[in-house]
Amino acid sequence: MKLVKAFLGIITAIALVYALNRPWGPVPALGPFLSPFTGIWQNGEISFWREQDEELTLDSLRGQVTVRFDDVGVPHIFAQNNYDLYYAQGYITAKDRLWQMDLQTRAAAGRLSEVLGNSTLEMDRRSRRMGMGYGAEANLKVAMSDPITREALLGYTAGINNYIRELNGKRKAVEFKLLSYEPEPWTPLKSMYMLEQMTLTLAGRADDVAMTNLMKRLGKDTVDDLFPNYPVFKESPIIPAGTPWNFKPLPIPVAPSLLDADTTQLAYQSLPLSEPMVEGLGSNNWAIGAEKSATGYPILANDPHLELTLPSIWYQVQLHSPTMNVYGVSLPGIPGVVIGFNKNVAWGVTNVDADVLDLYKIKFKDTTRNEYWYNNAWQKTRKREELIYVKGQDEPVREMVVYTHHGPVMDPEGKNAQGVPLAARWIGHEAGNGFRTFYELNIAANYDDYRKALTYYAGPAQNFVFADNSKNIAITVNGKFPLKWEQQGKYLLDGSQPAHDWQGWIPMEQNPTVKNPPRGFVSSANQSSVDPSYPYYINWRFAPSERALRINERLATMQNATADSLRMLQNDNYSVLARTLLPTLLRYLNAVPLNASQKAAYQTLQSWNFENNPEAIAPSIFEEWLLTLGTAIWRDELNDSTAYRYPTRDRTLHLVLNQPEARWFDNVKTPARETISDIVQGSFKAALDSLTAHHGPMSPEWQWAEVKNTEIKHLSRSLKPFNSRPILNGGGSSMVNATTKTHGPSWRMVVELGPEPKAYGLYPGGQSGNPGNPYYQNMLEKWEKGELNELIYLKAPDEANPRLTSTWTLKKK
């Protein structure tokens, strides 16, 4: 009896310990997770580690490194050589952001399922089929064969791994604990995956399928009318119209016949990457020349708009070595500074909406997919087997990806209902050395250095704005652009015809660029790169023009500008769209009787100053109305079971303002013939009904900040307590202050060039990636108000500055 009792006692104790020592589904192992000695209690931080002086011994440093932290939490790193510089950058960045770096590179590499299980398998499949690994490996070869980027990548990698080695269980990020997995060693390939992920975010969308469906359905004349290759209503291109092209262009390829006998409509869902471009995913940058500034030197501004997340996308850092002294933001996982300034120059980037992802219809000989038809012969495919390990499963999922000379074939075998396999020709597969570009910009001293830096770049293409203290300003639409015939890639291409291949590249030195234009400023807001006089085809659609129009009209009249003038422009909430459209829309309401609440809304709109300010009610009504109006015009014709896209905003504006008799206003689903008045009035009432349904009758609940409801989510998307509080600011997708519910200015920077640079900047979050750290979102409140921090640009490691908090000394072992 005693024996049995003892046995049961031991079994119970062991069973309990066992149960608490292992994860159960999404629940982490509760024993170690909840223990105050190892678990989450260890992840709260009040006094920040960087507020105390430290002396650390690191494994393979070559010399001594000094790191000084300022009161925002920015490390200012001073090293005696570049290897040590990147070593320290990797070490410190990992200390703050290791989990984010791990997750983002896993997402890019299609390895999320290894740690998250079955739920992310489809995502991983998509990444593999997109050829992310193929692109990352191609880029790695180039980066590792260049001694400069090789040193940077190796130093950075060693620094991260030094941190991972000394990381004991209790100090690892809370997300590792919650998701029950261990950080793995960093590799240079992971840095390539970060770059690949940026390319995917910024240049990984194609509406070729939708456009092809439209062409088949509506015919060429209608599609040409509704989807023109250059804005028909209004545009203010990045390179000002009239800028001379000082080069002799290559012969432009001739377009083969586009007519396609096959009228099958393709389903959207069968493609891995066909979500439409998110509106508000874009950016602004500009520089004003010395003649417009109060300082007598250029001033440069940049605010890249991305999906806002916590931990923040960017990480501020100053990097100082005998050959370099640069300050700016880095992407965790990538050595160097991506957007920033040094003693002599400043630069920034916005996305170019170039068409660098094209889909080719592939004809396979048989279901083995060993051969495909091209140039009147059967060509061999190559295959790359992707092994996707899934948490909780012993055997990996095997995904065989077939490659043609165009690129990987995008549909899963046998799952495409229409049986049309599509191969992706994508800039992300093209080897370039983006790291070298950023390195050269980090050490650039003048305009020529800037131009040289750009030549190393492949993608994602960016509008690189530039200013230096020799009083030059410039902007270059830069990246590797395929040499195409007009409209090549607007519709699906025929993978069997050599004439449909990309025809080479636009020579780098012929990329659109302008230096010191007569108007005294350069700018970009993702709009059309050039006017139609540019000899080459880049894309048929770019971001809507309103942000660019507003920036350019403000900069044109700006005199004696300071950094603060440009900061205010970054926060400009003025809606050019409302100014253009609203008076006409309101006129259509004059003719009809309105009930009391409609009348109130009408009056609110009529007295509106077109500012999307946080407390205003009019923008909530206008933005909702705009959405319902677009739907009311296009949905009846362009929405059914197969996939289409609506015409651009520019084309829709042209229709409403200049073609009120157009047949598109008729709702073809009703027997009556609707006019523009009916559509405008109906959508107005529908918009108010929708607002009332979601926010009650018109009240302060309708204030724009409430309705827009911006929130910055934790990268997990599911751990709500790690999100930001609701953000109460203004803006919108067509404002310069491009803050939407999920996207917005992910970094705002203004740099006054001069004998000494004076710079300001911040991002919505903080340097620390730890939700339990006061530096997790310490910059949020100032960002919300549109304020900027002065950036501390040190010249020497022992320079005194009242905002510096601590000094770290990193010594070699």
Partner 1 sequence: MKTALNYLIIVIATALLQLIMPWWIIALVPFVVYLVRPEKPVVAYAVSLAAVSTVWATYALFLHNATQGSMSSRIAEIFSLPNATVLLTAVSLLSGFVAGFGGSAGALVRQVFVKEAA
20 binds partner 1 per the rule CB under 8 A: yes
**Of residues 304, 202, 316, the one with CA closest to residue 738:** 304
Binding part of the chain for partner 1, among 29-37, 232-240, 304-312, 333-341 by CB under 8 A, reads 29-37
d(CA 278, CA 781): 26
d(CA 477, CA 285): 12
717 binds partner 1 per the rule CB under 8 A: no
In three-state secondary structure terms, 660 is coil
d(CA 23, CA 14): 16
The answer to whether the CB of 295 falls within 8 A of the CB of 561 is no
Binding part of the chain for partner 1, among 3-11, 353-361, 574-582, 640-648 by CB under 8 A, reads 3-11
CB of 166 to partner 1, least distance (A): 16
Q: Kindly report the CA angle at 547 between 327 and 473, in degrees rounded to 5? A: 45
**Of residues 730, 732, 625, 728, the one with CA closest to residue 686:** 625
CB of 805 to partner 1, least distance (A): 19
Interacting residue with partner 1 among 442, 771, 784, 793 (CB under 8 A):
771
In three-state secondary structure terms, 499 is helix
- Residue 655's DSSP bridge partners are none
CB of 184 to partner 1, least distance (A): 21
d(CA 665, CA 632): 8
711 binds partner 1 per the rule CB under 8 A: no
Binding part of the chain for partner 1, among 81-89, 181-189, 487-495, 767-775 by CB under 8 A, reads 767-775
CB of 46 to partner 1, least distance (A): 5
Nearest to partner 1 of 446, 716 (CB atom): 716
Binding part of the chain for partner 1, among 126-134, 328-336, 549-557, 768-776 by CB under 8 A, reads 768-776
Binding part of the chain for partner 1, among 236-244, 486-494, 635-643, 714-722 by CB under 8 A, reads 714-722
Interacting residue with partner 1 among 32, 507, 682, 797 (CB under 8 A):
32
Nearest to partner 1 of 5, 663 (CB atom): 5
**Of residues 202, 368, 211, 359, the one with CA closest to residue 271:** 359
Q: What is the DSSP string of 513-564?
A: EEES-TTSEEEESSS-SS-TTSSS---S--S-SHHHHHHHHHHHH--SB-HH
CB of 167 to partner 1, least distance (A): 17
Describe the strand order of the beta sheet including 357-361 as a list of residue ranges.
Answer: 422-426, 357-361, 493-494
Binding part of the chain for partner 1, among 2-10, 135-143, 192-200, 321-329 by CB under 8 A, reads 2-10
CB of 51 to partner 1, least distance (A): 14
Contact letters for partner 1, residues 44-73 (x by CB under 8 A): xxx---------------------------
Nearest to partner 1 of 47, 641 (CB atom): 47
Nearest to partner 1 of 37, 366 (CB atom): 37
DSSP 664: G
Binding part of the chain for partner 1, among 9-17, 450-458, 494-502, 644-652 by CB under 8 A, reads 9-17
Site residues for partner 1, 136-175, by CB under 8 A, read 174
Q: Which two tokens stand for residue 777?
A: 């979102």
Q: Which two tokens stand for residue 484?
A: 């195409």
Nearest to partner 1 of 309, 770 (CB atom): 770
Site residues for partner 1, 457-476, by CB under 8 A, read none
Nearest to partner 1 of 34, 324 (CB atom): 34
In three-state secondary structure terms, 372 is strand
Q: Produce one character per residue of 466-503: b if its CB has 16 or more CB atoms within 10 Å, e if not.
A: bbbbebbbbbbbbbbbbbbbebbbbbbbbbbeeebbbb
Contact letters for partner 1, residues 684-703 (x by CB under 8 A): --------------------
Strand residue runs (E) in 446-496: 462-468, 473-478, 493-494
Q: How far is CA 812 from CA 5, 60, 88, 164, 323, in A?
A: 58, 6, 11, 17, 21
Does the bond joining 460 to the residue before it have cis omega, within 30 degrees of 0? yes
722 binds partner 1 per the rule CB under 8 A: yes
25 binds partner 1 per the rule CB under 8 A: no
Nearest to partner 1 of 710, 770 (CB atom): 770
Four-point Cα dihedral 711, 714, 718, 721, nearest 10? -80
Interacting residue with partner 1 among 65, 77, 103, 178 (CB under 8 A):
178
Nearest to partner 1 of 10, 241 (CB atom): 10
Site residues for partner 1, 208-267, by CB under 8 A, read none
Q: Which two tokens stand for residue 166?
A: 């000394």
Q: Which two tokens stand for residue 102?
A: 């791990």
> Residue 341: enclosing H or E segment and its boundaries?
strand 339-342
Alpha helices (runs of H) in 82-171, residue ranges in sequence order: 82-109, 113-116, 121-129, 132-145, 147-166
CB of 8 to partner 1, least distance (A): 8
17 binds partner 1 per the rule CB under 8 A: yes
**Of residues 646, 656, 647, 667, the one with CA closest to residue 585:** 656
38 binds partner 1 per the rule CB under 8 A: yes
Nearest to partner 1 of 21, 533 (CB atom): 21
Residues in the chain: 813
6 binds partner 1 per the rule CB under 8 A: yes
CB of 100 to partner 1, least distance (A): 17
Q: Kindly report the CA angle at 290 between 286 and 292, in degrees rounded to 5? A: 70
CB of 168 to partner 1, least distance (A): 11
Binding part of the chain for partner 1, among 5-13, 60-68, 523-531, 546-554 by CB under 8 A, reads 5-13
Interacting residue with partner 1 among 22, 24, 41, 509 (CB under 8 A):
41
Residues that bind partner 1 (CB under 8 A): 2-3, 5-6, 8-10, 12-13, 16-17, 20-21, 30-32, 34-46, 174, 178, 719-722, 770-774
